[in-house]
């Protein structure tokens, strides 16, 4: 019986020794040039750390997903929000990881970063000495040096900040979010870049989510009307010089949720999402009644306009828990092709 | 004669099926008759339920049920890290499909439907059972399975005292005290515990550009609990009053990709609950009646604050979310033996759930009533037929009729082989968060409905000094109206009854005991193969049909081995967790699947009279792994414990 005991014990040891010990497969980053094309920044899921970067290379017509990891051997982070180009670099704002990675836009290789931000959203390069970062939580704009990545302080705005554009020496920033805010989220604030200070505020519609500048140096602000449909959404044209509203286009229903306002390279045609993709000339007197491209079951999430080609890019976030798609359309609405990207493709960046 | 009658009831109850076992206050007079002895193999188990060996349970008294089930069962534990949330899922379902009963009363939070198994100390439990398939179908919500945790009265044992002090890596401490007094009619038992850890273990962080060894931060926790039991035996009845009170405080660590957040984030979750059950159970010669009433008060507080680095540390973000749950429950069950072969059980369960939450527009409440009828036939050969059904009413609406049937018999021409076949239908009502969360809650949600079938084989043999127990089974579960939160055009999500999940798989359990006089051995092996896929039209459209649902491993298992030699004992545990999808995508991206991992734990115990010393090494081979993507887990760590046990007759 003792022999049986030893045999029993031995069998346990053998059984446990047979267990496979696994290891992650290493990835080696290539150093080749990316070529001309566009980046797709995929947000990934909140607190899942599965944000990613895709790149479509126009020469070969191929989409490379998970580019950041393949190049750098590390994940991009948690909820990638926006991509901004400056010189030959791309600034990737990663919202919930609270850092900004800078990559070489020609190779995708990591160069440097700034961390310990609050909840960064979008970046506006002011000049070689400073860049502004809007923030979902911070009631202000974070300022840092885009070369040394050293923080330079915060411009207090009293509200969280979102989309930004620069006109001459002023940055116009939308106050989009009401989350954790006691002040109204229906303004566009004006920052004087010479002194890094808030100088004015323009009341627009509720939840101004995006802002562009047209060929006449007029600002266009798209307001979704509120997270819970508090008011009629609106598109508003502002004269930045006088800081006054020149025209307001109201949407037909309070249930509309327009967002992602973009303008073409010529600065005369607007595009936005409102379930489908809509377009209008900046001289139009009314909002378009019907979409240029219907969603047809797609969950359009981000919009991009090719700077040289007559192409519209629209992402489809699908059910948010699997890879999304990027659709390419001609400006007449004809579908060119569709490309699979990462989870929640949320921002486009054109790399030329 | 009285003793004989009590024994008769004990025998009847020992053969009763799961519902009766979990719905009634355990009673020493009865349950002493079925205590596991040295070489028996859980003789009261059948193939659709499992009662844990009392010795194994006793040797894990300072563990949580998250660790215990992970190392000793086929239940999959989704573990966010030591001290953090840990949920249990049976057979490819989710945490909210696992019903947890404490002395027959459900403890699942009505708002999210889940139970945190890291907040369930083994120390507060005397008996633990698992049930699944047709055996779990008598419990609304137990679509995946049921975990039943029971306390047990005892009489004529005098004073019993157990004190245990544990120390471990990362400044981990555990203090446990259990004092009981019992006479012929009265039993009072008090248990208290305190467990804490800094949890600042070192791990390999692969998220930064440069992979580096880091220390876990903001993961400390402090759990304290107090349980009081009173039992009073009067004639043929027993009154019971059980009070379980617990306070849990924990900081919430960031994931590996978010360690460089600014604003000095302060994020924690404090829970406390007070659960009281008052019961009475009466026995007749061929019948028993049990009445219980319970009041549960559960409070959860989530807090997040960040402050500015530039503006006198002004608050930048602040979330102060509070959820209070109050549940009133009333349960009565009556068991009647009919003739020599039949037993009939009827039960009525009435409860009122109230939820006060900063995430709802207004306080919400829900009234539920369930009527259960359960008949069991058993012949002299041990063949059993069980038929039953429950009909539930939720806020005046009738839920789907839920029948179940199970048949268990010896295989023809064999002595030690048995088979069990079961079919059942069951449902789960939506959680209150699904119904009332603001914004997004959908009050129009229907219940999820599961149709299940099981077939299993069981081999059991006992020799003079050894025993062997093998079980293997297959199952299939078709769950319709599965609730899934879906995005909307307004950028918030809304739950809908859109999915149809098909869960199927096989399970294998092997148990053995051997005692040669010098050494005694015990081994238990569990393995599960689980396939769970969404087969709905929506999944077809989204091209996710047929893909394994996220965080459900296709393969997982464990091995437990114990060897005793005089006053020494060696325990070895192996836990294998197969790869898990973290998205519904094809696996073409490192982030879409977590690799499989194997953990090894070892413990050595030595007894000196009333004292027992234990040394435990967890993660023996210092495996670097992630159970959940980007959640840090500890490498090799140590724990020592010293316990003292006193028993004296009155």
pLDDT digits (tens, 9 = 90+) for A210-230: 999 999 999 999 999 988 888
Calculate mean pLDDT across residues A8-12: 48
Distance between CA atoms of B312 and A212, rounded to whole angstroms? 34
3-class DSSP state for residue B578? Answer: coil
Is the pLDDT confidence value at A261 over 50? yes
Determine the average pLDDT of the residues in A127-147: 95
- For the stretch A57-109, pLDDT in tens is 999 999 999 999 999 999 999 999 999 999 999 999 999 999 999 999 999 99
Q: Do A138 and B588 touch (CB under 8 A)?
A: no
**pLDDT for the residue numbered B4:** 37
With a CB cutoff of 8 Å and minimum separation 6, the contacts of B107 are B100, B101, B115, B275, B296
Q: In the structure, what pLDDT confidence band is assigned to residue A30 with cuts at 50, 70 and 90?
A: low
Distance of CA B147 to the CA centre of its chain: 4
Strand order in the sheet with A80-86: A80-86, A89-94, A99-104, A110-114
Alpha-carbon distance A330 to nearest alpha carbon in chain B (angstroms): 24
ipTM of this complex: 0.87
pLDDT of amino acid B2: 43
| Residue with more model confidence, A319 or A337 | A337
Considering only CB atoms, B489 lies closest to which of A72, A275, A323, namely A275
Judging contacts by C-beta atoms under 8 Å, the chain A residues touching residue B591 are: 44, 48-50, 52, 66, 69, 75
Q: Mean per-residue pLDDT for B232-253? A: 97
User: Are the C-beta atoms of residues A130 and A123 closer than 8 Å to each other?
Assistant: no
Q: What does the pLDDT average to over B473-492?
A: 86
A134 touches chain B (CB under 8 A): no
Confidence of residue B214 (pLDDT cuts 50, 70, 90): very high
Backbone φ, ψ for residue A234 (5° rounding): -150, 155
Average pLDDT over residues B165-194: 97
The mean pLDDT value for B75-82 works out to 93
Q: Cβ-count burial of A223 within 10 angstroms (0-12 exposed, 13-18 middle, 19+ buried)?
A: buried
Residue of B nearest to A159 (CA): B316
Asked whether residue B330 carries a pLDDT value surpassing 90, the answer given is yes
Model pLDDT, residue B139: 84
* The domain made up of A25-108+293-352 is a member of CATH 2.130.10.10: yes
Peptide bond into B439 cis (omega under 30): yes
Q: In whole angstroms, what is the distance from residue B533 CA to residue A123 CA?
A: 41
Q: Is A20 on the interface with B (CB under 8 A)?
A: yes
Query: Helix H segments across B16-64?
Result: 18-23, 28-31, 54-58
- B1 has a pLDDT exceeding 70: no
* Nearest-CA distance A287 → chain B (Å): 19
Report whether pLDDT(B31) > 60.
Answer: no
Q: Phi/psi at A231 (nearest 5 deg)?
A: -150, 170
Q: Which residues of A touch B441 (CB under 8 A)?
A: none
Our measurement of the distance from residue B277's CA atom to the centroid of its chain's CA atoms, rounded to an integer in Å, reads: 19
Residues A156 and A54: their CA atoms lie apart, in Å, by 35
Phi, psi at A128, each rounded to 5°: -70, -10
Tell me how close the Cα of A78 comes to any Cα of chain B, in angstroms: 6
The pLDDT score that the predictor gives to residue A342 is: 94
pLDDT at A17: 44
Q: Phi and psi at residue B451, in whole multiples of 5°?
A: -110, 130
Looking at residue B70, the DSSP 8-state letter turns out to be H
Instruction: Using CA coordinates, name the residue in chain B closest to A53.
Output: B589
Please give the interface size between A and B, counted as residue pairs whose CB atoms are below 8 Å apart.
178
pLDDT in tens, B106-131: 999 999 999 999 999 999 999 999 99
Q: Is B510 on the interface with A (CB under 8 A)?
A: no
* Extended strands (E) in B256-361: 266-283, 287-307, 315-338, 342-357
- The answer to whether A160 and A181 have CB atoms below 8 angstroms apart is yes
Contact call for B584 and A322, based on CB within 8 A: yes
The residue among B253, B305, B645, B22 whose CA lies nearest residue A180 is B305
Q: What is the mean pLDDT of chain A?
A: 90
Closest chain A residue to the Cα of B211, Cα to Cα: A74
| B26 has pLDDT over 50 | no
- Joined together, the tokens standing for residue A343 give 């989870």
Distance from CA of B210 to the nearest CA of A (A): 8
**Do the Cβ atoms of B256 and A49 come within 8 Å?**
yes
The first and second tokens of residue B264, run together, are 């000095």
Residue A3 contacts B where some CB pair is shorter than 8 Å = no
CB pair distance less than 8 Å for A321 and B584? yes
Q: In chain B, positions 550-609, which contact chain A (CB-CB < 8 Å)?
A: 550, 559, 561, 563, 572, 574, 576, 582-585, 588-592, 595-598, 600
CB–CB contact B590 A69 (8 Å): yes
Looking at per-residue pLDDT, the higher value among B320 and A218 belongs to A218
The reported pLDDT for the residue numbered B414 is 87
Which among A9, A22, A257 has the least Cβ separation from residue B491?
A: A257
Which residue from A minimizes the CA distance to B524?
A: A12
| Among chain B residues, CA nearest to A153 | B310
Q: How far is CA B181 from the centre of its chain?
A: 28
**A50 vs B211, B260, B583: nearest CB:** B583
**Residue B587: which pLDDT band, with cuts at 50, 70 and 90?**
low
Q: Which CATH number describes the domain made up of A116-203?
A: 2.40.10.480
Please report, for residues A240, A260, A303, A331, A348, the alpha-carbon distance to residue A281 in angstroms, rounded to integers and kept in the order given.
Answer: 19, 16, 17, 13, 22
């Amino acid at each position: 019986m003792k022999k049986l005991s030893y045999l029993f014990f031995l069998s346990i040891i053998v059984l446990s020794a047979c267990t496979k010990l696994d290891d992650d497969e290493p990835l080696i980053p290539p150093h080749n040039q990316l070529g001309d094309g566009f980046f797709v920044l995929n947000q990934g899921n909140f607190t899942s750390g599965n944000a990613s970067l895709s790149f479509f290379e126009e020469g070969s017509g191929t989409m490379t997903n998970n580019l950041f990891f393949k190049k750098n051997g590390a994940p991009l982070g948690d909820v990638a929000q926006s991509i901004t180009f400056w010189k030959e670099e791309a600034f990737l704002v990663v919202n919930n990881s609270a850092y900004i990675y800078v990559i070489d836009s020609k190779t995708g290789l990591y160069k440097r970063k700034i961390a310990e931000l609050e909840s960064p959203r979008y970046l506006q390069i002011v000049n070689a000495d400073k860049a502004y970062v809007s923030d979902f939580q911070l009631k202000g704009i974070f300022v840092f040096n885009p070369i040394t990545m050293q923080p330079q302080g915060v411009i207090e705005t009293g509200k969280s900040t979102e989309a930004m554009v620069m006109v001459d020496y002023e940055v116009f920033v939308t106050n989009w979010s009401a989350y954790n805010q006691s002040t109204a989220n229906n303004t566009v604030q004006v920052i004087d870049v010479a002194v890094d200070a808030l100088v004015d505020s323009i009341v627009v519609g509720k939840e101004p989510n995006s802002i562009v500048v047209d060929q006449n140096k007029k600002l266009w602000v798209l307001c979704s009307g509120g997270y819970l449909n508090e008011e009629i959404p609106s598109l508003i044209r502002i004269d930045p010089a006088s800081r006054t509203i020149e025209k307001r286009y109201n949407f037909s229903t309070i249930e509309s949720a327009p967002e992602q306002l973009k303008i073409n390279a010529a600065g005369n045609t607007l595009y936005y999402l409102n379930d489908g993709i809509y377009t209008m000339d900046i001289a139009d007197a009314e909002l378009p009644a019907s979409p240029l491209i219907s969603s047809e079951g797609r969950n359009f999430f981000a919009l991009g306009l090719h700077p040289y080609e007559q192409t519209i890019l629209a992402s489809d976030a699908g059910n948010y828990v699997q890879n999304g798609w990027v659709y390419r359309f001609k400006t007449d609405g004809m579908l060119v092709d569709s490309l699979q990207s990462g989870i929640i493709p949320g921002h486009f960046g054109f790399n030329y | 004669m009285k003793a004989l009658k009590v024994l008769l009831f004990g025998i009847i109850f020992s053969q009763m099926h799961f519902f009766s076992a979990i719905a009634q206050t355990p009673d020493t007079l009865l349950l002493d008759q079925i205590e596991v002895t040295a070489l028996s193999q859980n003789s009261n188990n059948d193939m659709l339920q499992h009662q844990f060996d009392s010795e194994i349970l006793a040797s894990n008294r300072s563990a949580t049920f998250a660790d215990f089930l992970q190392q000793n069962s086929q239940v999959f534990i989704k573990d966010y890290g030591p001290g953090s949330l840990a949920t249990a899922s049976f057979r490819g379902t989710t945490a909210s499909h696992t019903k947890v009963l404490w002395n027959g009363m459900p403890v699942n939070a009505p708002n999210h439907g889940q139970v945190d198994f890291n907040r369930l100390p083994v120390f507060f439990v005397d008996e633990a059972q698992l049930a699944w398939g047709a055996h779990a179908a008598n419990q609304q919500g137990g679509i995946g399975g049921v975990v039943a945790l029971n306390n047990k009265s005892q009489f004529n044992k005098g004073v019993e005292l157990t004190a245990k002090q544990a120390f471990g890596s990362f400044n981990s401490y555990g203090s446990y005290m259990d004092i009981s007094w019992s006479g012929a009619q009265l039993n009072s038992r008090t248990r208290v515990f305190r467990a804490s850890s800094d949890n600042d273990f070192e791990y390999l962080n692969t998220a930064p550009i440069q992979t580096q060894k880091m220390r876990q931060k903001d993961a400390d926790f402090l759990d304290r609990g107090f349980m009081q039991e009173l039992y009073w035996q009067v004639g043929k009845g027993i009154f019971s009053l059980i009070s379980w009170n617990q306070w849990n405080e924990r900081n919430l660590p960031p994931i590996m990709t978010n360690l460089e957040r600014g604003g000095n984030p302060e994020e924690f979750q404090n829970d406390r609950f007070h659960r009281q059950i008052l019961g009475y159970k009466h026995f007749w010669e061929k019948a028993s009646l049990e009445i219980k009433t319970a009041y549960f008060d559960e409070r959860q507080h989530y807090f997040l604050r960040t402050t500015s680095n530039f503006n006198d540390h002004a608050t930048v973000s602040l979330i102060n979310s509070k959820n209070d749950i109050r549940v009133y429950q009333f349960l009565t069950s009556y068991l009647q033996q009919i003739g020599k072969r039949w037993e009939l059980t009827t039960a009525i369960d009435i409860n009122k759930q109230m939820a006060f939450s900063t995430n709802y527009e207004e306080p919400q409440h829900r009234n539920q009533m369930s009527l259960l009828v359960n008949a069991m036939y058993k012949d002299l050969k041990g063949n059993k037929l069980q038929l039953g059904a429950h009909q539930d009413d939720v806020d005046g609406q009738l839920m789907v009729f839920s029948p179940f049937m199970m048949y268990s018999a010896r295989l023809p021409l064999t002595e030690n082989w048995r088979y069990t076949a079961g079919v059942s239908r069951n449902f789960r009502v939506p959680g209150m968060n699904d119904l009332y969360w603001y914004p997004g809650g959908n009050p129009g949600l229907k219940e999820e409905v599961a149709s299940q079938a099981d077939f299993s084989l069981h081999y059991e043999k006992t020799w003079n000094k050894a025993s062997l127990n093998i079980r293997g089974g297959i199952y299939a579960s078709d769950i319709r109206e599965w609730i899934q939160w879906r995005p909307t055009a307004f950028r918030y999500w809304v739950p809908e009854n859109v999915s149809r999940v098909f869960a199927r798989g096989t399970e294998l359990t092997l148990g053995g005991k051997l005692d040669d006089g010098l050494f005694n051995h015990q081994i238990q092996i569990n393995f599960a193969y689980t396939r769970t896929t969404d087969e709905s039209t929506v999944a077809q459209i989204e091209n996710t049909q047929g893909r394994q649902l996220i965080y459900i491993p296709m393969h997982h298992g464990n091995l437990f081995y114990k060897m005793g030699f005089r006053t020494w004992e060696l325990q070895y545990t192996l836990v294998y967790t197969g790869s898990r999808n973290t998205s519904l995508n094809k696996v073409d991206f490192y982030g879409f699947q977590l690799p499989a991992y194997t953990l090894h734990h070892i413990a050595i115990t030595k007894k000196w009279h009333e004292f027992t010393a234990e040394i435990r090494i967890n993660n023996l081979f210092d495996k670097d792994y992630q159970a959940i993507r980007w959640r840090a887990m500890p490498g090799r760590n140590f724990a020592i414990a010293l316990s003292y046990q006193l028993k004296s007759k009155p």
